[in-house]
A = this chain, B = another copy of it.
Amino acid sequence: MNGLMMDVSLTITSIMQHAQQVHGDQEIVSVTRDNPRHRYTYREAFKRTRQLANAMAAWKLPRGSRIATLAWNDYRHFETYYATACSGYVCHTINPRLFPEQIVYIINHADDQVVFVDPDFMPLIEAVAGQCPNVREWVVLTTEDHMPDTKLSNVTCYERLVHGHSDQFTWPDLDEREACALCYTSGTTGNPKGVLYSHRSTMLHAYATLMPDAMGLSARDAVLPIVPMFHVNAWGTPYACPMVGAKLVYPGNKMGDGETLSALINEEGVTMSAGVPTVWLGLLAYLKASGNTVESLKRIIVGGAACPLSVMEDFDRYGVETRVGWGMTEMSPLGSVNESTAARDEYGEEVFAKQRLKAGRPIFGVEMKIVDDEGKELPWDGEAFGSLKVRGPWICSNYYEIEGASDAHSEEGWFETGDVATIDAQGYMAITDRTKDVIKSGGEWISSIDVENVATDHPKVAEAAVIGRYHPKWSERPLLVVVRAPDGQDLSSEEMLAWFDGKIAKWWTPDAVEFVDELPHGATGKIHKVGLRDQFKDYAFEA
């Protein structure tokens, strides 16, 4: 027997209606190339969104067509998000940091019809446009006065496109399962894979991120998303903020500029921000050098990579709460948030320092489990570690137009994150490794991340990586590959290996050390383990 409740679809369209009626006066502030501090209100934003929707309607694209963006965080990108998704198209956000050949691949794989481009990326577009025959138009996100010179013929100015269109538009009725956005994720091997979000998944994710122990946003917040709108929808903030009437402060192409970030925080009263560790290092360096403070800032969410404890402790001194978040493109992205700071008094300082580094507790809606090699569930005791699997209404079921089923979903109904993790009795999850990097010695797993962290703590080590190599008795044993620090050129294998005594389990200690001048790195700066294993492919231990 079904309930008797209204059959109202969860669609992004409802955000516009709510925000303009209830929070119409709230501001969106943006840094753009043509205006260092553009400001307007949600009411004006959605008025222009309707003008853009009218402009798009003239293209007569079939429902579900992909419209791409290659843009920074600013108000025009925000308008494009809503005009595409709420018109029934799919907003395909492209990461400009991908290699040009990957950008060509995903534009063609997604069959993008139109691409909205920041003027900063015109050189990139000019290089790839010839290989993207299905793109009918490149729309440059700027005013006519600021249009770059180009040899491309099918280029339009965004402001000219929008200009003169009616601000009345009847949005189509959409089913909540319809696609609204597409984002490709790039591994170290193979082509990028597309994650296709639905209106439903996006709305449920947004509700969940708003919970006090997740992002905890309200109408009194001013949010500075330093996480890019070109990757996993800036962690859902373009949806969550207008839902609650939070002010949006967009840094444009100044995401890596500590001085601009500090100015935006102080001048716009930013209370909450989100970004990867690198941007915080940049902001902290600027604050220390300039003597500036960030009085209004209450909380930051750090994700995308492990957050160094020193970053958290620096922010402690500025009165800012640091919450680690963990997620994936395949997870919309938020899976867990570490809100332990709110209870720091309950921990001893030493315990707290460890606890706050974890990836946090699953937010309601995300189920997690850790399993061993046989798929058997492991206990949540903070010690046992296994492959992390997740399940929930904002987690991808498959990749866009991929051949065959994805092996990421080998167990029915669960997504294999590719991470190895522990979960403690309070539900705090900690990543210990990537599945493909884990070392299996005598049937037991060794966490390469834990070993690497101890190695890089050595003052004479600049960088270190651990890989598993063949061993006749144990099947695999860890090999440590080290780049010596400039003033640590006398570091020996013996000194290095002695360093592990008492710091990790004896049998985790690497069997040997190899010194190299540099380690191979991937496009995002991470150590390229595949390349490293290839480099040492003939290396084998003796019995």
Bitwise, A334-354 to B at CB < 8 A (1) or not (0) is 000001001100000000000
Which residues of chain B are within 8 angstroms of A6 by Cβ–Cβ distance?
A: 391-397, 413, 415
Does any Cβ of B come within 8 Å of A484's Cβ? no
A244 touches B212 (CB 8 A): yes
Bitwise, A178-194 to B at CB < 8 A (1) or not (0) is 11100000000000000
Of the stretches A16-24, A47-55, A128-136, the one at the interface is A16-24
A8 touches B427 (CB 8 A): no
A393 touches B211 (CB 8 A): no
B207 touches A216 (CB 8 A): no
Which residues of chain B are within 8 angstroms of A18 by Cβ–Cβ distance?
A: 362, 364, 367
- Knowing A207-B207, A364-B243, the reply to whether A4 touches B400 (Cβ < 8 A) is yes
Does any Cβ of B come within 8 Å of A213's Cβ? yes
Does any Cβ of B come within 8 Å of A93's Cβ? no
Q: From B4, B8, B197, give the contact of A393 (CB < 8 A).
A: B8
Q: Which of A50-90 contact B (CB under 8 A)?
A: 63-64, 90
CB proximity of A248 to chain B, nearest CB, Å: 16
Which residues of chain B are within 8 angstroms of A400 by Cβ–Cβ distance?
A: 4
Q: Which of A173-228 contact B (CB under 8 A)?
A: 175, 177-180, 195-201, 204, 207-208, 210-213, 216-220
Question: What DSSP secondary structure best describes chain A's contact surface?
Answer: loop
Does any Cβ of B come within 8 Å of A1's Cβ? yes
Q: From B22, B393, B413, give the contact of A362 (CB < 8 A).
A: B22
- Knowing A17-B367, A427-B23, the reply to whether A3 touches B180 (Cβ < 8 A) is yes
Q: Which of A324-381 contact B (CB under 8 A)?
A: 339, 342-343, 361-362, 364-365, 367, 380
> How many of chain A's residues touch chain B, expressed as a range?
35 or more
B244 touches A213 (CB 8 A): yes
Which residues of chain B are within 8 angstroms of A90 by Cβ–Cβ distance?
A: 1
CB proximity of A208 to chain B, nearest CB, Å: 7
Does any Cβ of B come within 8 Å of A407's Cβ? no
Does any Cβ of B come within 8 Å of A259's Cβ? no
Which residues of chain B are within 8 angstroms of A198 by Cβ–Cβ distance?
A: 2-5
B367 touches A5 (CB 8 A): no
B179 touches A2 (CB 8 A): yes
Which residues of chain B are within 8 angstroms of A220 by Cβ–Cβ distance?
A: 342-343
Most buried by B among A1, A21, A204, A361: A1
Does any Cβ of B come within 8 Å of A25's Cβ? yes
Which residues of chain B are within 8 angstroms of A342 by Cβ–Cβ distance?
A: 218-220
CB proximity of A422 to chain B, nearest CB, Å: 14
Given A5-B200, A22-B426, A207-B208; 8 other pairs, CB 8 A cutoff: A1-B64, A15-B364, A18-B367, A21-B427, A207-B364, A213-B218, A213-B219, A218-B342
19 inter-chain pairs at a CB distance below 8 angstroms, sorted by A residue, are A3-B177, A3-B196, A3-B200, A3-B201, A5-B197, A5-B394, A5-B396, A6-B391, A6-B392, A8-B391, A21-B380, A24-B425, A25-B425, A25-B426, A207-B211, A210-B211, A212-B216, A213-B219, A244-B364
Across the A-B interface, give the 3 residue pairs with the lowest CB-CB distance, nearest first.
A3-B198, A22-B427, A1-B64
